[in-house]
Amino acid sequence: MADSLTLPHSRLRSGGGTPTILVIGGGASGNAVTVLLRRAGIAVDLIEAKPDWNATSGSGITLQGNALRVLRELGLWEQVSASGYAFGTLGITAPDGTVLHVAEDIRTGGDDLPATLGMQRPQLQRILIDAVRACGATVRLGTTAEALEQDADGVSVRFSDGTEGRYDLVIGADGLGSATRAAIGITDKPEPTGMAIWRIAAPRPEGVERTDLTYGGPAYIAGYTPTSENTIYAFVVEACRDRASIAPGAYADEMRRAAQGYGGFWPEIVEHITDSRKVNYTWFDRLLVDGSWHRGRVVLIGDAAHCCPPTIAQGAAMSLEDALVLAELLTSGREWDDELFQTYYERRTARVRTVVEASVQIGQWQLDGVRDADVPGLIGRTMNMLKELP
């Protein structure tokens, strides 16, 4: 394990010259690694396929302490804290809204950070975007990498706009459907777990001050998380269906139907599920690339290397930790070789595997109708492990 989260800002790889890196993908992991590498004086180009840099999409996100720890290392904690809603407990409720149990959340980021913070996903993305802009990286939006050609010294890249570039290293941070992963011959693909989730941002009902989860009832899981003083995001998990069979214009009706049978704060939340354009529907997927997360001078981070259902809210945290660990190694003064990239994989894989397997298991218990599953125990063991530095 690392002894410190402080990066050696002035140390570059040996061999002379200023190294250059291409980051493919401007999500959480791509943005984070860009900021950390620029801090060390490395030249970074970041390309993002979406022209709007995903600055407006998504409903909400739950960030636990280990994610907040990385955001603090990025120098963004004050902005994140001011934009989100921090809390330290998790409620378990019956379908009618009766509170069955309130558990103290484990402070995976240490005692000086909140256990959990909810925030609007677009707001987090905008904070990260501003940090990338401020760090001096070159950013090109609406751009993809069409071809990667490697040799012993680096990677030649042809872009979708017809231009070309030459880099010492390429970091694939292009998400679940990563074209970079496929381009370097890694054949692993995300696999659906059998569940899907409806999400929406909504006004915060008075009295909602933490995440509350209901297991069972009309759906497998229903819950909500405060994301600011005025907002929440609400979600309902059900068996996955053919997305093509659900007309986008019917999303609000479908989510309202799925949430209709829940009590407590849900009737007030349901009143605001009216605009299908604000409802998001996605399947739960799992992915864990085994063996290594690199081929030559191309390395994967975040959802390009692994993903899991949001059942313990660790997807973004794992991606941010990837960025931190990879940046630490790249700025350690070591050669950028197979040994370094294998070290990165070995530092990450056991931790990520634990999270992926626990996240999938919680959903599988629901799918299998296991009534005596030790969900609190599994979550507790996983969270205690995450208190250790990555």
Cα separation values, 139 from 51, 53, 301, Å: 11, 10, 19
Name the residue with higher pLDDT: 1 or 44: 44
Domain range 20-85+117-190+286-369, CATH architecture: 3-Layer(bba) Sandwich (3.50)
> In 3-state terms, what secondary structure has residue 268?
helix
* pLDDT (0 to 100) of residue 96: 98
23 and 53 Cβ atoms separated by less than 8 Å: no
Q: What are 244-301's pLDDT values in tens digits?
A: 899 999 999 999 999 999 999 999 999 999 999 999 999 999 999 999 999 999 999 9
Report d(CA 355, CA 352) in Å as an integer.
5
CB-neighbour burial class of residue 51 (10 A; exposed 0-12, middle 13-18, buried 19+): exposed
pLDDT interval class at 60 (50, 70, 90): very high
* Domain residue ranges in the chain: 20-85+117-190+286-369
* pLDDT (0 to 100) of residue 13: 44
- Round the average pLDDT of the chain to a whole number and report it: 95
Amino acid at 349: T
Distance of CA 63 to the CA centre of its chain: 9
Place of tokens 């530095």: 389
Element at 376 (helix H, strand E):
helix 375-386
For residue 148, list its beta bridge partners: 157
Q: What are 204-235's pLDDT values in tens digits?
A: 999 999 999 999 999 999 999 999 999 999 99
pLDDT interval class at 4 (50, 70, 90): very low
Q: Is the pLDDT of residue 6 over 60?
A: no
The closest alpha carbon to 200, from 120, 125, 261, belongs to 120
383 and 65 Cβ atoms separated by less than 8 Å: no
Written as six digits, the tokens of 72 are: 């603090």
* pLDDT (0 to 100) of residue 17: 73
Report d(CA 345, CA 352) in Å as an integer.
10
Q: Is the pLDDT of residue 315 over 60?
A: yes
Report d(CA 115, CA 322) in Å as an integer.
20
Q: What are 346-383's pLDDT values in tens digits?
A: 999 999 999 999 999 999 999 999 989 999 999 999 99
Q: What are 97-114's pLDDT values in tens digits?
A: 999 999 999 999 999 999
Report d(CA 48, CA 57) in Å as an integer.
14
The closest alpha carbon to 47, from 148, 155, 137, belongs to 137
Q: Is the pLDDT of residue 14 over 70?
A: no
Average pLDDT over residues 54-78: 97
143 and 159 Cβ atoms separated by less than 8 Å: yes
**Percentage of the chain modeled with pLDDT above 90:** 93
Task: Give 245's contacts (C-beta < 8 A, 6+ positions apart).
Answer: none
pLDDT interval class at 16 (50, 70, 90): low
Q: What are 143-178's pLDDT values in tens digits?
A: 999 999 999 899 999 999 999 999 999 999 999 999
Written as six digits, the tokens of 385 are: 């492990």
* pLDDT (0 to 100) of residue 307: 98
The closest alpha carbon to 387, from 63, 71, 64, 108, belongs to 108
* pLDDT (0 to 100) of residue 137: 98
Average pLDDT over residues 78-103: 97
In our burial notation (b when 16+ CB lie closer than 10 A, e otherwise), range 189-204 reads ebeebbbbbbbbbbeb
Q: Would you give the DSSP letter of residue 219?
A: S
CB-neighbour burial class of residue 259 (10 A; exposed 0-12, middle 13-18, buried 19+): buried
Positive or negative, the CA dihedral 126, 65, 33, 160 is negative
* pLDDT (0 to 100) of residue 11: 36
Report d(CA 153, CA 225) in Å as an integer.
47
